Structure 1
C-alpha cells in the first residue's frame, strides 16, 4: 500500500474521487488529512472488534473543500457490506477490510450514541483538543439503536436511517441522521432552521433528535480553528411520498389538486412566519435591493454564457429588473432557500412536512445563512408546479396540463396570502424576477444534464417576461 506524504493512502484517494458527494470531479485532487477522531465500537454485534476513525480530508484543488470520511476496519468481512467496501488490504498478518462508515452498523451506532449520550471526543493527534461534541434534544431521550441502513439517492450528504427502541424495550420512532460530507465553518442552516422551528413548537418540519458539532484546524480562522456541524439527527417519516410524486400522479390522472396546493401555501406561510419570529429578520433596505437585483443580472449573464440561446432575453430582462427594483419588497428573514415539491412530504394525519433546510447547494454556506427574501421560496414552489406540467408534456407528447398547473399556482398563493396576511401579489414584479432567476438556474442545469428538458424553463422565462413587461 502506497501512502502519499499528505497521509492519504492510494486506495482512499481512488475511492473518494468516485463518490457522489465528491465535488472536485474533473480536477486532479490534492488531498491532505488534517485530523479527525476515533469512536468506540459499541454495537451489539461486534462490540469492541471494529476500529472506527473519522478522517477530515482537505482537498486543496481549486476551491478548497473539507470532507468528512468515516472509515471502519474489520478483520473479517462485514456480512452484506459489499456496497460500502472501500478496500481490502492483505499483509503478513491477514486481511483488513475497510468500509465507508455509514454502511457499517458499528460506526452508525457509535455516531448516534455520540449524539444521544451528549459525549465529547478528542483528536488524538492534537494533544487532546476537542474534536466533536454531541447534543441531544428531548425527542431523543431514551432511544436505543436496533438497526441501521443507508438511504440511497443523495448527492452531497449521506443519511443513515435507524430503527430504534425506547429504554424499557418499547418501540421507538425511526430516526434519520444526515452525515454532512462537505464541512463548513459555522452553523449548517439545516440544523439551525429545523431546530428553530421545533423549539418554537411548529410541526412543519420533522422533530429534532440532536446534532454533532466538530472542530478542526484552519489557518485562516482566529486561533487557527474552525467549528461546524458534522451530523444532524431528526425524526424519520417512513412510508410517505414527497409532494412532487403526489402532484405528478394527480396531474397525470387529471385529479384536482387545488386543495392540497392551498394547504401547501398555508404550510409555507407558517414556516416563514415562525422563522421570522424565531430568528433575526429586518427591513429590506435600498442597498439590499440593489445588491439582490445586481446578483440577478450577474446570474443571467453567467447563464447566457453557458446557454447562448438565453441571450435573446437580455433586453427584456433589463426592464424586468428595473421594475422589480422600483417595487415594494417584503422584509428580509431566514428562509428555506431551495424550496420545491421534492422538499415536502405528504404525511397522513399531519399534512405537509418540510425537509432539507440547507439552502441552494451552489450558493456559499455563508450566503445561505443570511436573511433572505421569502419570495425566493414562493417562486421556487411556483416553478415546481410548472415542472409538473412540463414533465408530463415531455413524457406524453400532445398532452397539456398547463391549466392544472396554473390552478395549483393560484391556490398555493391563495393559501400563502391567507395564512401569512401578506398579499404577495402586491409584490408581483419582485416575485416574477425571483421566478425568472430560478428558471435561469434551471436552464443551465437542463442544458448540462437533460437538454430535452430545456424547453420547460425557457417557456417559463418567455411567459414571465411577457406578463412582467405588459402589466
Structure 2
C-alpha cells in the first residue's frame, strides 16, 4: 500500500462527506491524474474503499500539493508524502482557495483532462479565474461558491450514470421554471470499466445570493412562538404559514414542469404492492437498529398494507426524492428548490426511478414536524411547549398543502393512504438516522409515529 493510500485511509473516515463511518475497511486503492500543474499542483483521485462485508464504494478526492507546509491550511492538511529527497504536502483541494480556479477554467474551455470531461451548458456567464469559497454546511457532497455568480457542487461518491441533479436541472431549463437555479455546466469522468457509463463528478449552477434557507426561517418562526407564551401560532409576528403556502405552490410548479419534460406513466396495482413491500422490509430492518419501533410495528404495517389495497390514481414521474426545508431557499422573489439528486445513500438507479410526487410532499411535511419539535429535545417534559409545537406544525403543514392544491388543482393532504405511508416510511428512516447519529433527537420521529399510526 502506498504512502498516499495510507494517508487517505486515516483521513477519509473523519470527513463529513464520507458515507460509511464505522464500517470496517478491508482494502483501499487509489488512482489519480493531474488536473492542473500550476502552483499549487491539483490532482484528482478515485479512491476505492472495500469493506469487510463485501461492499465497495468509490470516492472522488481532489488534492492540492505544496512543497512546504502552509499554516493557514492546517485544517485542510492530509499529510506528507515522500517525493524524491523531499516531501510533498497534500491538502484537501476543496479547502485550498488557490486550487479552486482550474475547475471553472476547464469548464469554460470544455476541456478533456485524462478521463475527465467538462461540459459547459453554454447558457450564461461562468466566472472564470475567480477562486471558490467552501460551504461548510453540507454532508454528502462539497460545494464551492464563486463570487456572487456560481456554485460548484462536487459529488463525492461516484456511480456510473448521469446524476439526477444534473439530469433534472438540464431538463427543466426548457421550462424556465422560476423556482430552480440555472444549470451552467457539469463534469463527468470515464469509468475504469469501458462498458460502464461515465460518472457525474460535479455540476455548476447559478448562485442565489442574499437567500435564506427554509430550515432557518422556519425554526426562527418556532422560536418566536415559544417566546410568546400566551399567543397562538397565527398571532405571532414570525408566523410562517404564508411562506409555507408559497412553498407548497412552488413545489407543485416544479412537479408540474418535471412531468412536462421528463417521463411519466400511470401507476399500476403492482407498483402499489411493491411500495408496500419495500416499506415493510425497511421497517423490519429498522426495528433491529431501533428497538423502540417495535411498539409501533403493528400500526405501521397496517399503514403500509393500506397502500397495497389503495384505489388512488397516481401518475408516476421524476421527483425531487429528498425534499425538506433545508433543500429550499427563500429569495426576494420567491422559493428556490435545490438538490434534485435524491437521497444520496440510495443507489443512483433507484433515485432515477419514477415515483409519486407525494413522496416529496411527505418529506416536507416531516420537515415541518422537525422544525416545530427540535427545541423540545432540550425540554421533553414541557407539555405547554409540546402543545404549541403541535399547533405550529399543523398550521404550516395545512398551509403547505393549501398552496400545493391551489397551484396544482390536487389536494395532496386529504385522506391519502399513500401520503400517510410515505410520511411513516420517512419517520422510520429518521428513527434509524437519529439512533445512529443523534440519539437525543430520537423522540421527534418516534412521537410522530404515534400520530401517523393512530389514523389507521
TM-score, length-normalised on structure 1? 0.87
Once the two structures are superposed, what CA deviation does each residue of 1:15-47 show, in whole Å capped at 9, x if it has no partner? 2233222234331241122x4432234xxxxxx
Pairing partner for 2:66 from 69, 74, 89? 74
Q: Distance in 2 between matches of 1:9 and 1:66?
A: 13
Q: Distance in 2 between matches of 1:462 and 1:309?
A: 12
Determine if contact 1:217/1:226 at 8 Å carries over to the other structure. Answer: no
Q: How far has the Cα of 1:455 moved from its partner?
A: 2.1
Determine if contact 2:160/2:199 at 8 Å carries over to the other structure. Answer: yes
1:213 aligns with 2:188: yes
1:199 aligns with 2:174: yes
In structure 2, do the counterparts of structure 1 residues 99 and 224 end up closer, same or farther at CA, with 3 Å as the change threshold?
same
What's the counterpart of residue 95 of structure 2? Answer: 103
What's the counterpart of residue 234 of structure 1? Answer: 205
What's the counterpart of residue 279 of structure 2? Answer: 296
Determine if contact 2:290/2:432 at 8 Å carries over to the other structure. Answer: yes
Q: Distance in 2 between matches of 1:91 and 1:59?
A: 25
Listed as ranges, the gaps of 5+ residues in structure 2 are 226-237
Pairing partner for 1:460 from 442, 445, 448? 448
Determine if contact 1:197/1:203 at 8 Å carries over to the other structure. Answer: no
What's the counterpart of residue 154 of structure 1? Answer: 138
SS in 1 for 2:34: strand
What's the counterpart of residue 25 of structure 2? Answer: 28
1:388 aligns with 2:363: no
Determine if contact 2:60/2:156 at 8 Å carries over to the other structure. Answer: yes
Q: Distance in 1 between matches of 2:26 and 2:106?
A: 31
Q: How far has the Cα of 1:178 moved from its partner?
A: 0.9
What's the counterpart of residue 175 of structure 1? Answer: 150
Q: Distance in 2 between matches of 1:462 and 1:394?
A: 17
Determine if contact 2:36/2:43 at 8 Å carries over to the other structure. Answer: no
Q: How far has the Cα of 1:392 moved from its partner?
A: 3.0
Q: How far has the Cα of 1:466 moved from its partner?
A: 1.3
What's the counterpart of residue 220 of structure 2? Answer: 249
Q: Distance in 2 between matches of 1:68 and 1:389?
A: 37
What's the counterpart of residue 233 of structure 2? Answer: none
Q: How far has the Cα of 1:142 moved from its partner?
A: 5.4
Determine if contact 2:362/2:423 at 8 Å carries over to the other structure. Answer: yes
In structure 2, do the counterparts of structure 1 residues 332 and 92 end up closer, same or farther at CA, with 3 Å as the change threshold?
closer
Determine if contact 2:121/2:183 at 8 Å carries over to the other structure. Answer: yes
SS in 1 for 2:410: coil
In structure 2, do the counterparts of structure 1 residues 282 and 458 end up closer, same or farther at CA, with 3 Å as the change threshold?
same
What are the within-5 Å matches in structure 2 for residues 9-408 of structure 1? 9-26=5-22, 27-33=24-30, 35-41=31-37, 48-61=38-51, 62-78=54-70, 80-89=72-81, 93-122=85-114, 131-141=115-125, 143-163=127-147, 173-218=148-193, 223-254=194-225, 255-327=238-310, 328-348=312-332, 350-395=333-378, 397=382, 398-399=384-385, 400-408=388-396
What's the counterpart of residue 434 of structure 1? Answer: 422
- Residue range with higher mean Cα deviation, 243-252 or 146-155: 146-155
What's the counterpart of residue 169 of structure 1? Answer: none
Q: Distance in 1 between matches of 2:301 and 2:139?
A: 35
What's the counterpart of residue 228 of structure 2? Answer: none
- Residue range with higher mean Cα deviation, 329-338 or 22-31: 22-31
Determine if contact 1:197/1:204 at 8 Å carries over to the other structure. Answer: no
In structure 2, do the counterparts of structure 1 residues 444 and 16 end up closer, same or farther at CA, with 3 Å as the change threshold?
closer
Determine if contact 1:179/1:232 at 8 Å carries over to the other structure. Answer: yes
Determine if contact 2:4/2:81 at 8 Å carries over to the other structure. Answer: no
Q: How far has the Cα of 1:119 moved from its partner?
A: 0.9
Determine if contact 1:150/1:159 at 8 Å carries over to the other structure. Answer: yes
- Residue range with higher mean Cα deviation, 456-465 or 290-299: 456-465
What's the counterpart of residue 229 of structure 2? Answer: none
Q: Distance in 2 between matches of 1:142 and 1:366?
A: 30
Q: How far has the Cα of 1:241 moved from its partner?
A: 1.8
Q: Distance in 2 between matches of 1:95 and 1:36?
A: 18
Once the two structures are superposed, what CA deviation does each residue of 1:175-234 show, in whole Å capped at 9, x if it has no partner? 11111111000111111112222332112121212110110213xxxx444411111111
In structure 2, do the counterparts of structure 1 residues 268 and 135 end up closer, same or farther at CA, with 3 Å as the change threshold?
same
**RMSD across aligned positions (CA):** 2.0
Q: Distance in 2 between matches of 1:452 and 1:14?
A: 29
Q: Distance in 1 between matches of 2:108 and 2:426?
A: 39
- Residue range with higher mean Cα deviation, 324-333 or 260-269: 324-333
SS in 2 for 1:39: strand
Q: Distance in 2 between matches of 1:24 and 1:316?
A: 31
What's the counterpart of residue 418 of structure 1? Answer: 406
Determine if contact 1:272/1:335 at 8 Å carries over to the other structure. Answer: yes
